[in-house]
Amino acid sequence: MPISVHLLPLIFVIFFASLAHAQTEKILIPEMGNSADAIISPTEEKQTGEAVIRNIRRAGGIISDPILEAYINHLGYKLIAETQDGAQHFRFYMINDKQINAFALPGGFIGVNYGLIMAAESESELASVLAHEIAHVTQRHHARAYEVGDQQLPIVAALIAAMILGGGDSQLAEAAFATTAAGLAQSQINFTRGNEKEADRIGINMLANAGYSPSSMATFFDRMEKASRLYGPQAPEFLRTHPVNTSRISDAKSRAAQLPSPPLQIENDFHHTRARIRALANDNKNNAVTEFAKNLKNGNYQNKQAEQYGYALALIQAKKFNPAREIINSLLKKDPQRIAYLVTQAQLEAKSKNHQAANSIFTKALKVYPNNKVITYYYTKFLVEEEHFKKARQLLTEYMRDPVDNPELYRFLARSESAIGNKSAAHEAMGEYYFRSGQIHEAIQQIKLAIKTSNTDNFFRNSQLDAKIKLYQSQIIATP
């Protein structure tokens, strides 16, 4: 059984705590050729981050919603454009957890709980947290932690191995993590403070350069700190992984005051994202419909179009297609190029059994936005569900010339290849799906079946499949 999503914040606390300790809070800016490379290279950092992400996905911790994923990555890369670190690879993930938290992993993998997005009162506040996490990566805080305390590396390996291999006793795993955390907490506190100060300073500059309010970081921290005093032990998880005090808030305010404040931005995408989360995360479909309808009636919203969009999504979830259609059509008249509206309109027609209309909407949308990730995903999903496997395979093979991060696309490809009789290709695609979903043993088995069912003596293809098996095997960490 995979480790519970609710255990993830603790895992990350321990992960960072176990990296190393230091004796000073002095802020150091890494230079090219940093000696930390001798301890852990950028490639090793990336492999470590990839392994953790695969297993968060395996535990059900990543929200696999292409529209939400597109938003958080667009925002992240808007900030990265201001880092002058174009060589660094980044990926941003929305985490399926209502707790207010975010984290950065080695190699540029950054997760943001949907609870944090709902707690942020503006896109600037959300961007301030992302900027802070990006700074942890660009300053190579993980590698620098290894550098000053490489004796902790086996602990990190053990923790990651435990998370990867899972195990049936989650209570035992939690106890082990807690024990490790207690033993390491004091030894790493100074190092953590130094990292946090540096990430704040760089993040605030990043915010200002990207056109966001530099004071938004202090505003968000201040609200979190007040919440900790109000709620005590029930304080936001964010404060346990990102300790905030009055001195840190004061520093952030002082630094922001030295930077120009940009004009207020229109935050349509931010409000639409929050509305989508509210609609899709509500387990009671009728309650969601009632909530959005009440907000629209009473004018209780920050962005009317976003609230109407959430209302349409809630109506579709409740299978109330006709009123949802009226809202989506009205929204498209105001903003005909918004991809979220186009996809929702197509999905609505598909759920209403108007398959020809849905296909037409998807086809036209792809002509306007060729190779768009969101449209490609939902159109392919539609084609597979309607058993148009040849068209789905054609669309996927064109789009997936390079590897993609979304495992579901490989599952769609596997089903399409299987339906048209390409058994070996189907097994290979399923291997990719399992690997990216953190199920490595299953992935290896699928690639072996791909070799076994291959009808070709093509040396190049067989060598590729053998190389995949070796790659997958290299990702299996022995039980500590």
User: Does 91 share its domain with 189?
Assistant: yes
Choice among 133, 196, 198, 225 that is catalytic: 133
Could you tell me if 90 and 134 are in contact, meaning their C-beta atoms sit under 8 angstroms apart?
A: yes
Rounded Cα distance, 306 and 319, in Å: 20
Distant-in-sequence, close-in-space partners of 426: CB < 8 Å, separation ≥ 6: 414, 415, 417, 418
> What's the confidence (pLDDT) of residue 193?
72
Give percent of the chain above pLDDT 70.
76
- Of the listed ranges 155-159, 281-285, 365-369, 373-377, the least confidently predicted one is 155-159
Above 90 in pLDDT, residue 391?
yes
User: Does 187 share its domain with 247?
Assistant: yes
Token reading at 400? 């997936």
Give φ, ψ of 190 to 5 degrees.
Answer: -65, -40
Which segment, 74-78, 84-88, 242-246, 452-456, is predicted with the most confidence on average? 74-78
Above 90 in pLDDT, residue 179?
no
DSSP H/E element including 94: strand 91-95
DSSP H/E element including 425: helix 423-436
- Of the listed ranges 184-193, 245-254, 328-337, 419-428, the least confidently predicted one is 184-193
Residue 359 lies in a domain: no
> What's the confidence (pLDDT) of residue 430?
98
Residue 403 lies in a domain: no
Above 50 in pLDDT, residue 1?
no
User: Does 110 share its domain with 39?
Assistant: yes
> What's the confidence (pLDDT) of residue 61?
86
User: Does 225 share its domain with 271?
Assistant: no
User: Does 194 share its domain with 309?
Assistant: no
Residue 447 lies in a domain: no
Other CB atoms within 10 Å distance of the CB of residue 386? 14
Could you tell me if 366 and 372 are in contact, meaning their C-beta atoms sit under 8 angstroms apart?
A: yes
- pLDDT, tens digit, 9 for 90 and up, residues 199-209: 889 999 999 99
Above 90 in pLDDT, residue 403?
no
133: annotated active-site residue = yes
- The contacts found for 283-288 with CB under 8 angstroms, 24 or more apart, are 285/314, 285/317, 285/318, 286/318, 288/314, 288/317, 288/318
Token reading at 424? 């070996």
> What's the confidence (pLDDT) of residue 78?
94
Q: Which residues sit opposite 102 in a β-bridge?
A: 112
Residue 400 lies in a domain: no
Q: Residue 183: which pLDDT band, with cuts at 50, 70 and 90?
A: very low
User: Does 196 share its domain with 292?
Assistant: no
Above 70 in pLDDT, residue 147?
no
Torsion of CA 438, 441, 447, 451, to 10 degrees: 180
> What's the confidence (pLDDT) of residue 248?
84
Quote the pTM value: 0.84
Q: Residue 85: which pLDDT band, with cuts at 50, 70 and 90?
A: low
- pLDDT, tens digit, 9 for 90 and up, residues 335-355: 999 999 999 999 999 999 999
Per DSSP, 151 falls in state G
123: annotated active-site residue = no
- pLDDT, tens digit, 9 for 90 and up, residues 54-79: 878 887 889 999 999 999 999 999 99
Q: Which of 225, 257, 289 is the last residue of a domain?
A: 257
User: Does 208 share its domain with 131?
Assistant: yes
- The contacts found for 218-222 with CB under 8 angstroms, 24 or more apart, are 218/249, 218/252, 218/253, 218/256, 219/125, 220/120, 220/125, 220/128, 220/129, 221/248, 221/249, 221/252, 222/249
Residue 81 lies in a domain: yes
- Of the listed ranges 89-103, 190-204, 278-292, 348-362, the least confidently predicted one is 190-204
pLDDT higher for 431 or 253?
Answer: 431
User: Does 230 share its domain with 270?
Assistant: no
Residue type, 456: T
Residue indicated by tokens 């291997």: 431
> What's the confidence (pLDDT) of residue 320?
97
Residue 110 lies in a domain: yes
Q: Residue 279: which pLDDT band, with cuts at 50, 70 and 90?
A: very high
Residue indicated by tokens 């980044």: 90
> What's the confidence (pLDDT) of residue 143?
61
User: Does 77 share its domain with 166?
Assistant: yes
Rounded Cα distance, 317 and 332, in Å: 19
Above 70 in pLDDT, residue 11?
no
> What's the confidence (pLDDT) of residue 332?
98
What does each C-alpha distance from 342 to 312, 321, 352 come to in angstroms?
12, 15, 15
- Of the listed ranges 124-133, 181-190, 323-332, the least confidently predicted one is 181-190
Above 80 in pLDDT, residue 474?
yes
Q: Which of 335, 354, 379 is the last residue of a domain?
A: 335
- pLDDT, tens digit, 9 for 90 and up, residues 294-345: 999 999 999 999 999 999 999 999 999 999 999 999 999 999 999 999 999 9
Label residues 122-136 b or e (16+ Cβ within 10 Å = b).
bbbbbbbbbbbbbbb
Residue 40 lies in a domain: yes
Distant-in-sequence, close-in-space partners of 27: CB < 8 Å, separation ≥ 6: 194, 197, 198, 201
User: Does 247 share its domain with 270?
Assistant: no
- Of the listed ranges 186-190, 446-450, 464-468, the least confidently predicted one is 186-190
User: Does 169 share its domain with 316?
Assistant: no
Tell me the average pLDDT of the chain.
Answer: 81
User: Does 246 share its domain with 142?
Assistant: yes
Above 60 in pLDDT, residue 187?
no
DSSP H/E element including 269: helix 268-281
Q: Residue 145: which pLDDT band, with cuts at 50, 70 and 90?
A: low
Question: What domain range includes position 300?
Answer: 266-335
Per DSSP, 250 falls in state H
> What's the confidence (pLDDT) of residue 86?
53
> What's the confidence (pLDDT) of residue 466?
94
Query: What's the number of domains the chain is made of?
Result: 2
Choice among 69, 97, 200, 237 that is catalytic: 200
Which segment, 63-72, 83-92, 396-405, is predicted with the most confidence on average? 63-72
Rounded Cα distance, 381 and 359, in Å: 11
Rounded Cα distance, 432 and 400, in Å: 12
pLDDT higher for 236 or 107?
Answer: 107
Q: Residue 164: which pLDDT band, with cuts at 50, 70 and 90?
A: very low
Residue 50 lies in a domain: yes
Q: Which of 223, 257, 291 is the last residue of a domain?
A: 257
